[in-house]
Structure 1
Amino acid sequence: MAVRAAGEQTNWLLKPAAKLAPLDQNRARRELSEITSASQEEGLTRLAKFLAGKGASQEFLAAVFDLSPFLRGTVRRRPQILDALFDETVETRLAMIGAAIDKAARAEGISENSLMMELRQWKAEAHILIALADLSGEAETAITVRRLSDLADACTRAAVDFLLRDAHGQGKLKLPDAEDPARRSGWILLGMGKLGAHELNFSSDIDLVVFFDPQAPAVVDPLDATELFSRLTRRLVRILQDRTEHGYVFRTDLRLRPDPGSTPLAIPVEAALRYYEARGQNWERAAMIKARPVAGDLAAGAAFLKDLQPYIWRKYMDYAAIADVHSIKRQIHAHKGHGEIAVKGHNVKLGRGGIREIEFFVQTQQLIAGGRFPELRGRETVPMLGQLAARGWITADARDALARQYWFLRRVEHAVQMVADEQIHILPEDDEGLERIARMLGFADAAVFAEAFRAALHQVERHYAALFETAPELSAGIGNLVFTGDVDDPDTLQTLQRLGFQRASDICRVIRGWHFGRYRVTQSAEARERLTELTPALLQSFGQTRRA
């Protein structure tokens, strides 16, 4: 991203690979001029002089700041972020930020509020650099998601290390090495989903599952360990996600832990292993494919995942288990390419032909075959497409098409989120909003983007539907019926309402209770797997009663 000219200081983006067009050329120039003035007021004369010039870099920046109110507002408040790029490349600067985040957690006498402020400031700078590198073409999307994941790892580690040192200072833990607080602490934090796979999106939540070893050397009182580590976890969430005048670091979701409605925030490892062995569901097995120790006692986290291997990767699977794995996504109505896909308002992640269909395409086959073939146990989506093709599970055409569309859809998702730093996956409903996304992605206009977007969705949909075409549709064409996780699926709520249920959310909660094995009759894996197949017919019958 940085280019050194003979006899001159390092400049940046002298030749951006991407050429973006603003929505309004005159407004874009005014916005760039405002940032030029802000740079001058901060005494950043070389930056102000550069921004006042003319060329591809200035045109690119003007377009970016017109298209993204979030990026514009952050740089206007902190033009130093751009100024630093005269002296370092983006890669070097991000490495320096990572080191600064790590150092902040170990600073002598730092308070929780001071750490929160520092994390927010460093994260904001990194966020801007990652976005500009992505939009300029300096970084491919695969690099962007890795950089975002590394940033989340660093922030989580810093907060965890601070909390462990604080607990040690208060005598609640006895760390073997206060200079390396996480080692042998027994506090295990697994990154799940896109964080675990190093595939984080631009404004993503981070999914964490927290366990602890009450017999770890650092634990003073094993009987108090659940309360202690749950309290530390609660503080961790506050450090990361509370909004202050400096913003937030990462919104944090803990709901992928075992039976989140009835378990503490931090769970003893033995209790967790017993849960997964006796009551774990196939969607939880799918989630654990991406699990990765990201902070805390990394060795204990790796040992826990090793102990969990027989649960995740069954060497042999009976018919009921295979049917249940397929049902994870077949409960979502698999369209066979019929009907036009509306671009406006389409959910890039969850909608027809979206990112989740590619992820489930990979994960369902990993669950079925990964027990016999260790090379199919990877966390990252695109490399696993390659392994599936190498083993002959999918064609080279499917591998190439799904890999290409996966990265395209991830770019679209990032553009949607870069506009206002919001955790959304839905394309705008209005003409101007769609035009904004199209131009952020380098398309000439919304019409050209819409054509490419529809083609991508149809291609994903075709490969996905083929994967399940020989299996009966569990939803029986009535719509989504998804009861995984701990959050109501919006389309499932609509399906239940159409079936006649007045309190759809309550029905979701009840059915999740069945699958968590809270009743004796559903405590065996086979019973829960059979229940998955019966649920659509049961709901159709129940919905026709007067008390639905």
Structure 2
Amino acid sequence: MPSDIALKGEDGSTWFGMPVRVLAPLDADSAAAELASLAETAAEEDCPRLARLLSGHSPLAAFLGAVFDLSSYLRDCARRDPRNLEALFDEKLDARLATLNAAIGAAAFAEDASEASVMKGLRRLKRESHFLIGLGDLAGEADAATTVARLSALAEACVGAAVDFLLRDAHRQGKLKLPDPEKPAVGSGWVVLAMGKLGAGELNYSSDIDLIVLLDPHAPAVLDPLEATDLFVRLTRRLVRILQDRSEDGYVFRTDLRLRPDPGSTPLAIPIEAALNYYESRGQNWERAAMIKARAIAGDRKAGGAFLRELQPYVWRKYLDYAAIADVHSIKRQIHAHKGHGEVAVLGHNVKLGRGGIREIEFFVQTQQLIAGGRFSELRGRETVTMLRQLAKHGWITAEVGEGLVEQYWFLRDVENTIQMIADEQAHTLPEDVDDLRRIALLLGYADDEAFAAAFREALKTVERHYAALFETAPELSRGVGNLVFTGDVDDPGTLQTLTELGFERASDICRVIRGWHFGRYRATRSAEARERLTELTPALLEAFGSTRRADEALLRFDQFLSGLPAGIQLFSLLQSNPRLLELLATIMGAAPRLAAVITRRPHVFDGLLDPALLSELPNRAYLAQRLESFLEAARVYEEVLDRLRIFAAEQKFLIGIRLLTGSIDAVRAGKAFSDLADLTIGAALEAVEEEFALTHGRVPGGRAAILGMGKLGSRELTAGSDVDLILLYDHAPDAEESDGRKPLAPSHYYARLTQRLIAAVSAPTAEGVLYELDLRLRPSGNKGPVATHIDAFRKYQRKDAWTWEHMALTRARPMAGDETLCEEARAEVEAILSLTRTYKTLAHDAVKMRDLIEEEKPPRDTWDLKLIPGGIIDLEFIAQIAALSGRCASEPPPTGTGDILSHLAPDLADEQTRTELAEAHRLYMMLTQVIRLCLTGPLDPDDVPPGLADILLRGADLPDLGVLEAHIAETARRVRGHFDRLLRRKG
């Protein structure tokens, strides 16, 4: 006889205490199959009530079916342990979560507790809580505020349990003498501060947790103050291992300690006194903002609270901070506000860091807090929404702005959590595929992706509008500009002072440059109307360039740009009516010398910025192909086709770069776009060359030509400045002896000459520049071999004579232009060659030998030489290539992209944590490489980074300053080199 609870609640009505939200699955048949499968598993696992529920037709069953169809992570959690759902028949969700948090807290106090048992227990309990929190959110039982609070409480409980266990373990080993082992944290001297979203109690569904770990060497539990730092550093390492190492039970929370003072040169745990000295003497603006959310969550909370109280004068300045608004403005630059430029793309948009995203709301609040929190203690809270309402209550913002931002904040947090619930990934970007976007929309309860997209765009517009207004009304930024007199030939003292206040260092030189504009020395300023428009625009120009932090360089680059313009009135009118375009131009001039040089040499590329849809359209292959076809339509002769290809490629490279610079696309998408552009333009050049060549030499009977893209083109990771690696393959009828033109050539000679003509067509400089620099050294036999290779010779060489390194290079081979049938044949041949049986040990040995030789002959310049540093891009590429060659890529056929292969390393080669760390390292390196190659013509000098470029790099890495980024690169490289040694050196 079932219990009363079962009788009352077998339809699941007791789970959430309310009707569940109605969700539609992507595939109704799949949802039904998931329910049937889980019902079967529930019966096998002795969960009879759950089995009956899933076999029925209640609203809850329909809801679960939709969830398990839409979220692979939640489905897998249910399959792994259906008892987690069965338990909800006996406890409502909120009570069950309280029970689990209590169990987490008790894990440290079990008599037989060991590091292994605590790791296992925390992972199991966290997984169940995580699963149930996700269900509550999707069911509508919890709103976004409740969900982030539950996630934060879960993380706090887990960190606290791990800390308590480690303190008790140190006590058992005689390394500490705790005043009360039943309250291990009290008097321990080990302080764990939560930062960021955990500090604010606003954690994401699959977020990292940001921690700062401090120690008090004079705490009652410490036996030897001189040994305290070493002891607590070891405990902190163990803490990180307990929380984030992946095992068969998963992980607890990924943990980030990089917000501590000077992370590149300080230990993981820092003495409290040293931390205070750092903040008071060297603390930076972003650290003030970060400390707003700091909260002691584990360990010696009393000591942590005392530390934060002592830090208050540093965070909260006594007087209104208008005098130091430059501090706030520098943080604004580090967040890199782009106040809109046309429509915002929904597909691929970053909900956290993109325009109108969560970060803009958080920064809006923190900026106001830094300005006024010193005088008004009610503005010192950690929670974003609470502070928005306090700002409105006390008149710092209007009630309309406050409630508008509150509404959109929770909406965007819902979207962010939903993205992460699908696969438990720390993702913040909406999918680029419409079907995947529909999955998000359905999980959020929308009828389709269009309804969601409309709501999402409206939210971004609202946030962006209020965020832009914040800086338009800040006193220091909108103050009336002082003297700006550029008449005569003598500097006006008031103007020099104004320029200095705006941020220019060589005020007199700037005066001279601007006088040149007004004297009509350039074609663009010769007409009186153009000079009048420029005079009206000059104050805005100077403010825009003054905010770039290298104002003189930025304005001088603009001067070079101006000197090459055939006319100026249209540009000046456009910039005057579109301040956002002016900001973008200032960003280019201040942050990206390479792009500035492109604009200066070819001002016509600037025309592409006038397209209002620029930042909302993804530059994918179809988009580029359509525009290229239109651009080539009017070309009638060979030379005109080649010039038009150069013009088109230059403009599209520039526009892809602008999208990357403004955050509209990420580095991976940029790499694909640059590669698609190369495919299309080189393919068009090949077609033009074949037609032109045939006019003289005819065609070879049965002749076919195809191009294999190699290197970064083959892996679709091309950058703005990459050379292009190619192999040209050809085939012809077996009995073909020569071509049929008026000047016939033997087939081998024909295709060699055709290839040389292609090289000239693509690489020879014309009035429109170079299309691409081509590199054919990866062809069989390298520079010693013919420039064009018969498909049979290619097949024979690769199977009999190629070295391991040549097969490694072949893992990135991709047919990208030419005859479709030969492309398919080449693709099949490459796949066949890559699938040949090889000995992993031999491959690894050869790869390590080659890597050691590269390291010896081409040592890295510095930490920023990302390709050559130990643990850099080459290490990642070698791991991926050996995995592909040895059949240890779980995707068939293996993809050509390094990041794709690393994400799919076979389980017998790399565990999930290794795959994740390698893929994340690759994403970091690609982001940095794409941006640096886009903005600079040479290597990055860490001692002379354009500030605007630094801001863009920091935005991409979501880190606060270059010192932290350098430390992150070094730590990432160390981790990658460790994986390289383990996967190749030790196994080889």
Q: When the two structures are superposed, what TM-score results if normalisation uses the length of structure 1?
A: 0.88
How far apart are residue 329 of structure 1 and its match? 1.7
1:455 partner amino acid = E
Matched, 1:367 2:477: no
2:224 partner amino acid = D
Match of 1:386 in 2: 389
Q: Distance in 2 between matches of 1:9 and 1:132?
A: 18
Match of 1:233 in 2: 236
2:587 partner amino acid = G
Match of 1:8 in 2: 8
How far apart are residue 396 of structure 1 and its match? 0.6
Residues 1:508 and 1:235: Cα distance change in structure 2 (over 3 Å): farther
How far apart are residue 481 of structure 1 and its match? 10
Q: Secondary structure at the match of 1:176?
A: coil
Greater RCO, CA 8 A, separation 6+: 1
Match of 2:164 in 1: 161
Runs of at least 5 residues in structure 2 that lack an aligned partner in the other structure = 478-542, 549-585, 592-660, 664-922, 952-960, 962-988
Matched, 1:180 2:183: yes
Match of 1:536 in 2: none
How far apart are residue 11 of structure 1 and its match? 5.0
How far apart are residue 510 of structure 1 and its match? 10
1:60 partner amino acid = F
1:429 partner amino acid = E
- Counterpart pick for 2:415 among 412, 431, 454: 412
Matched, 1:499 2:970: no
How far apart are residue 55 of structure 1 and its match? 1.9
- Counterpart pick for 2:304 among 301, 317, 335: 301
1:298 partner amino acid = R
Contact 2:243 2:252 in 1 (8 A): yes
Q: Distance in 2 between matches of 1:6 and 1:498?
A: 64
Alignment of 1:237-248 (within 5 A): 237-248=240-251
Structure having the higher Rg: 2
Match of 2:359 in 1: 356
Match of 1:195 in 2: 198
Q: Secondary structure at the match of 2:297?
A: strand
Q: Distance in 1 between matches of 2:924 and 2:943?
A: 10
1:161 partner amino acid = D
Q: Distance in 2 between matches of 1:161 and 1:313?
A: 32
Contact 1:11 1:86 in 2 (8 A): no
1:289 partner amino acid = I
- Percent same amino acid among aligned pairs? 63
Match of 1:426 in 2: 429
User: Cα RMSD between the aligned structures?
Assistant: 2.5
Residues 1:120 and 1:175: Cα distance change in structure 2 (over 3 Å): same
How far apart are residue 12 of structure 1 and its match? 2.6
Runs of at least 5 residues in structure 1 that lack an aligned partner in the other structure = 516-528, 530-548
Residues 1:58 and 1:315: Cα distance change in structure 2 (over 3 Å): same
Matched, 1:133 2:136: yes
Q: Secondary structure at the match of 2:213?
A: strand
Residues 1:225 and 1:16: Cα distance change in structure 2 (over 3 Å): same
- Map Cα deviations across residues 384-410 of structure 1 (whole Å, 9 max, x no partner): 000111111111111011000000000
Q: Distance in 1 between matches of 2:375 and 2:930?
A: 39
2:168 partner amino acid = R
Q: Distance in 2 between matches of 1:10 and 1:46?
A: 6
Contact 1:488 1:508 in 2 (8 A): no
Contact 1:10 1:88 in 2 (8 A): no
Matched, 1:477 2:622: no
How far apart are residue 282 of structure 1 and its match? 1.0
Q: Secondary structure at the match of 1:211?
A: strand
Contact 2:189 2:303 in 1 (8 A): yes
- Map Cα deviations across residues 350-380 of structure 1 (whole Å, 9 max, x no partner): 0000000000000011011000000000000
Residues 1:501 and 1:163: Cα distance change in structure 2 (over 3 Å): farther
1:456 partner amino acid = A
Q: Secondary structure at the match of 1:468?
A: helix
Match of 2:274 in 1: 271
Residues 1:59 and 1:315: Cα distance change in structure 2 (over 3 Å): same
Contact 2:20 2:60 in 1 (8 A): no
Contact 1:210 1:265 in 2 (8 A): yes
How far apart are residue 318 of structure 1 and its match? 6.0
Q: Secondary structure at the match of 1:216?
A: coil
Match of 1:144 in 2: 147
Aligned length: 508
2:33 partner amino acid = R
Q: Secondary structure at the match of 1:190?
A: strand
Q: Distance in 2 between matches of 1:493 and 1:383?
A: 40
Match of 1:544 in 2: none
Q: Distance in 1 between matches of 2:662 and 2:323?
A: 19
Structure (1 or 2) with the greater helix fraction: 2
Q: Distance in 2 between matches of 1:264 and 1:347?
A: 33
Contact 1:213 1:269 in 2 (8 A): yes
- Counterpart pick for 2:115 among 112, 115, 121: 112
Match of 2:126 in 1: 123
1:81 partner amino acid = N
Matched, 1:64 2:67: yes
Match of 1:538 in 2: none
Q: Secondary structure at the match of 1:379?
A: coil
2:231 partner amino acid = L
How far apart are residue 324 of structure 1 and its match? 1.7
How far apart are residue 509 of structure 1 and its match? 8.8
Q: Distance in 2 between matches of 1:117 and 1:72?
A: 21
Q: Distance in 1 between matches of 2:157 and 2:283?
A: 30
How far apart are residue 322 of structure 1 and its match? 1.7
How far apart are residue 488 of structure 1 and its match? 7.5
Deviating more after overlay: 298-307 vs 337-346: 337-346
Match of 2:682 in 1: none
Q: Distance in 2 between matches of 1:250 and 1:8?
A: 37
Residues 1:251 and 1:174: Cα distance change in structure 2 (over 3 Å): same
Q: Distance in 1 between matches of 2:271 and 2:246?
A: 30
How far apart are residue 454 of structure 1 and its match? 0.5
Match of 2:86 in 1: 83
Matched, 1:26 2:29: yes
Match of 1:262 in 2: 265
Contact 2:12 2:53 in 1 (8 A): no
Q: Secondary structure at the match of 1:246?
A: coil
- Map Cα deviations across residues 93-115 of structure 1 (whole Å, 9 max, x no partner): 01110111111110112110011
Q: Secondary structure at the match of 1:209?
A: strand
- Map Cα deviations across residues 405-430 of structure 1 (whole Å, 9 max, x no partner): 00000000011000000001000011
Contact 1:481 1:495 in 2 (8 A): no
Residues 1:387 and 1:432: Cα distance change in structure 2 (over 3 Å): same
Alignment of 1:324-339 (within 5 A): 324-339=327-342
Residues 1:165 and 1:394: Cα distance change in structure 2 (over 3 Å): same
Residues 1:85 and 1:186: Cα distance change in structure 2 (over 3 Å): same
How far apart are residue 431 of structure 1 and its match? 1.4
Match of 2:460 in 1: 457
How far apart are residue 496 of structure 1 and its match? 4.4
- Map Cα deviations across residues 501-544 of structure 1 (whole Å, 9 max, x no partner): 544595799979x99xxxxxxxxxxxxx9xxxxxxxxxxxxxxx
- Map Cα deviations across residues 276-334 of structure 1 (whole Å, 9 max, x no partner): 00000110010000000000001010000000001010112666632121221235443
Contact 2:122 2:252 in 1 (8 A): yes
- Counterpart pick for 2:471 among 453, 461, 468: 468
How far apart are residue 498 of structure 1 and its match? 3.1
Match of 2:774 in 1: none
- Map Cα deviations across residues 103-154 of structure 1 (whole Å, 9 max, x no partner): 1110112110011000000000001110000000001110000000000000
How far apart are residue 490 of structure 1 and its match? 8.4
Q: Distance in 1 between matches of 2:130 and 2:240?
A: 20
Contact 2:207 2:426 in 1 (8 A): yes
Contact 2:339 2:355 in 1 (8 A): no
Matched, 1:251 2:254: yes
How far apart are residue 446 of structure 1 and its match? 0.5
Runs (4+) off by over 2 Å: 4-17, 316-321, 330-338, 470-482, 487-499, 501-512
Q: Secondary structure at the match of 1:477?
A: helix
